[in-house]
């Protein structure tokens, strides 16, 4: 048997931060011309390991070999010089520059006179070679998210990268764009490029990767060829225990509407229309999903419903009462719980402790004290019950929320919001950035809410999540509802088309409604 050709080898890598070992004698060997998936829960050490490989961090011990030669990666520039680059989940592009300008940005040449013609020709060459269709003269703000990702890939190719790290590359793509990306990655590996693919989506690992490595608690715990494992085994390796089946969705008693939105329009932060005639309803005992590519009005829709943004026209009715442009406090009192997109910036006060955050919507009620004075003992008892019931892992109740992991801070947020009197939950990306165990816990909570007769508006960019949980899914594109489909009529191709802006056709059985 011949020797294996490795593009990258990371041997016995250790990296310590105060109070934590982020990488604990980690080994990673990536074969040339392959797609190598890197899996792990939040805090498993994936980012630390990739930051070491791209020169952003230096290991405390261990060695890195690139194409068989030991190297010292002292900066991202030195990594690029050795052919190692990364496409980050949040793109590093200047919105007002053209594609070609972004691709050459930061390079030492051309130094004085910027001749864009040869750069544009090079972009066209990569576009043709790898199926990365993009106009080199277009401004970044004019491009879709999928096109912006192509710019990031071309930027790395232009710099001569042949080991490309991709961090959660499908998080903001439509199903069609995911297929196009996978086709591009296959073309790149056929051309000898090497891909390290970081993702939490196990089905994507099984579809696209040749080999997979699982990190847990800063250690590499499992590596094998993808064809020799299963999604279930990988999930178990990630969390260190057997993962149960998906939570059951027992038939729910669907009631009347708890949320009615009609003709809703709103202006965004850039003074443009971001919601354009939205019609939507959520019924008691129903999870109604909103699918769409990021930036199409999802955040603004949640903000208008919860009183954080004013509507220009139309109305929002909650449990039969017109609550259009009412204050957040009055909407809370009307029975609305809110799981915002930004859990620390909007949902929780990160510098306050767990008890303060837990009682944030209850301190006015009599059970927490008398008048303006909060009874500290009662508040601690209440919070202790929530922490135990929702399995929030924390040293003590005095711990600042900013010190909790993403999964534990999200559990605390859900505990607070679902323990108050409510008829409607507005949940925006409730599992974004969470590992598989925390995601499982959030899904269970949302399904319990459904079973208790609460209506839920679930906004998510994860189609798998929506399909697993929702009774109906509406698709939003450029601030309009393109169509609504019942669970038993789901068609991924059709949903993908609507996400790309193609309105659904109305059908006589009422399962699919035409967009406004």
pLDDT of residue 495: 84
The predicted model scores a pTM of 0.64
Nearest by Cα to 207 from 164, 170, 165 = 170
pLDDT digits (tens, 9 = 90+) for 248-261: 677 778 999 999 99
Question: Low-confidence residues of the chain, pLDDT below 70?
Answer: 1-2, 19, 42-43, 108-113, 171-172, 241-248, 366, 369, 371, 433, 435, 504-516
Backbone angles phi, psi at 446, to 5 degrees: -65, -35
Contact call for residues 501 and 482 (beta carbons, < 8 A) = yes
Count Cβ neighbours within 10 Å for each residue of 450-461 and write b for 16 or more, e otherwise: beebbbbbbbbb
Residue 257: what pLDDT? 95
Per-residue pLDDT, 161: 94
| DSSP character string of 261-325 | EEEEEEE-TTSSEEEEEEEEEEETT-EEEEE--TTSSHHHHHHHHTTSS--SEEEEEETTEE-TT
**Res 111: pLDDT:** 56
DSSP string, 421-480: S-SEEEEESTTTT--HHHHHHHHHHHHHHHHTT-EEEEE-S-HHHHHHH-SEEEEEETTE
User: Token pair of 490, please?
Assistant: 């789901």
Q: Closest Cα partner for 287 from 463, 491, 457, 445?
A: 457
* Exposed / middle / buried, residue 505 (Cβ in 10 Å: 0-12, 13-18, 19+): exposed
Tell me which architecture the domain covering 246-334+470-516 has in CATH.
Answer: 3-Layer(aba) Sandwich (3.40)
Cα(306)–Cα(414) distance, integer angstroms:
16
Q: Name the residue ranges covered by the structural domains of the chain.
A: 6-239, 246-334+470-516
Q: What pLDDT does 241 receive?
A: 64
Whether 6-239 shares its CATH topology with 246-334+470-516 is answered yes
Q: Show the tokens assigned to 9.
A: 């080898």
Q: Which of 510, 423, 434, 420 is nearest to 472 (CA)?
A: 510
Beta carbons of 374 and 358 less than 8 angstroms apart: no
- Alpha-carbon distance of 250 to 260, in angstroms, equals 25
Say if domain 6-239 classifies as CATH 3.40.50.300. Answer: yes
What angle (nearest 5°) sits at the alpha carbon of residue 280, between those of residues 344 and 250?
A: 75
Residue 354, phi then psi, degrees to nearest 5: -65, -40
What would the DSSP string read from start to end of 316-361?
A: EEETTEE-TT--HHHHHHTTEEEE-SSIIIIIS-TTSBHHHHHTTT
| Unique residue bearing structure tokens 């750069």 | 119
Surface-to-core class of residue 510, CB atoms within 10 Å of its CB (0-12 exposed, 13-18 middle, 19+ buried): exposed
Per-residue pLDDT, 242: 61
Place of tokens 């592009």: 93
Q: What is the pLDDT of residues 177-201, one digit of tens each?
A: 888 899 999 999 999 999 999 887 7
């Amino acid at each position: 048997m011949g020797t294996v050709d490795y593009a990258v080898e990371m041997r016995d890598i250790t990296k310590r931060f105060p109070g934590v070992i982020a990488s604990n004698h980690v080994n990673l060997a990536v074969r040339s011309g392959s797609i190598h998936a890197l899996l792990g829960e939040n805090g498993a050490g994936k980012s630390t390991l990739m930051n070491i490989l791209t020169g952003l961090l230096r290991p405390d011990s261990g060695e890195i070999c690139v194409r068989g030669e030991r190297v010292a990666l002292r900066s991202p520039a030195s990594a690029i010089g050795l052919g190692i680059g990364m496409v980050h989940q949040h793109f590093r592009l200047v919105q007002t520059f053209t594609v070609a300008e972004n691709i050459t940005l930061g390079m030492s040449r051309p130094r004085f006179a910027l001749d864009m013609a040869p750069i544009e020709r090079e972009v066209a060459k990569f576009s043709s070679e790898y199926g990365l269709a993009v106009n080199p003269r277009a401004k970044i703000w004019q491009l879709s998210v999928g096109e912006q990702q192509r710019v990031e890939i071309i930027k790395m190719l232009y710099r001569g990268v042949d080991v490309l790290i991709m961090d959660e590359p499908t998080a903001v793509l439509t199903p069609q764009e995911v297929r196009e990306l996978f086709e591009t990655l296959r073309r790149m590996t056929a051309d000898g490029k090497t891909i390290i693919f970081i993702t939490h989506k196990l089905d994507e690992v099984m579809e696209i990767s040749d080999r997979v490595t699982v990190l847990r608690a800063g250690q590499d715990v499992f590596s094998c060829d993808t064809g020799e494992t299963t999604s279930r085994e990988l999930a178990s390796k990630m969390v260190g225990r057997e993962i149960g089946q998906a939570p059951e969705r027992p038939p729910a008693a669907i009631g009347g509407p708890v949320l009615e939105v009609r003709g809703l329009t709103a202006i965004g932060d850039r003074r443009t229309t971001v919601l354009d005639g939205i019609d939507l309803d959520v019924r008691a005992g129903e999870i109604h999903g909103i699918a769409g590519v990021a930036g199409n009005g999802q955040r603004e829709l949640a903000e208008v419903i919860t009183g954080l943004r004013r509507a220009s026209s139309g109305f929002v009715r909650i449990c039969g009462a017109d609550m259009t442009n009412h204050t957040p406090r009055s909407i809370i009192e009307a029975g609305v719980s809110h799981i915002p997109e930004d859990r620390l910036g909007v949902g929780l006060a990160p510098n306050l402790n767990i008890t303060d955050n837990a009682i944030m919507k209850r301190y006015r009620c009599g059970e927490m004290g008398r008048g303006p004075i909060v009874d500290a003992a009662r508040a601690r008892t209440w919070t202790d019950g929530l922490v135990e019931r929702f399995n929030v892992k924390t040293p003590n109740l005095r711990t600042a929320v900013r010190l909790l992991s993403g999964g534990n801070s999200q559990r605390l947020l859900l505990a607070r919001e679902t323990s108050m009197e409510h008829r409607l939950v507005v949940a925006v990306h409730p599992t974004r950035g969470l590992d598989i165990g925390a995601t499982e816990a959030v899904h269970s909570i949302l399904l319990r809410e459904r079973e208790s007769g609460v209506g839920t508006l679930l906004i998510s960019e994860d189609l798998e999540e929506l399909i697993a949980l929702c009774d109906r899914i509406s698709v939003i594109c450029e601030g309009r509802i393109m169509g609504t489909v019942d669970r038993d009529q789901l068609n991924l191709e059709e949903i993908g088309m609507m996400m790309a802006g193609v309105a659904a056709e109305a059908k006589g059985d009422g399962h699919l409604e035409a967009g406004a």
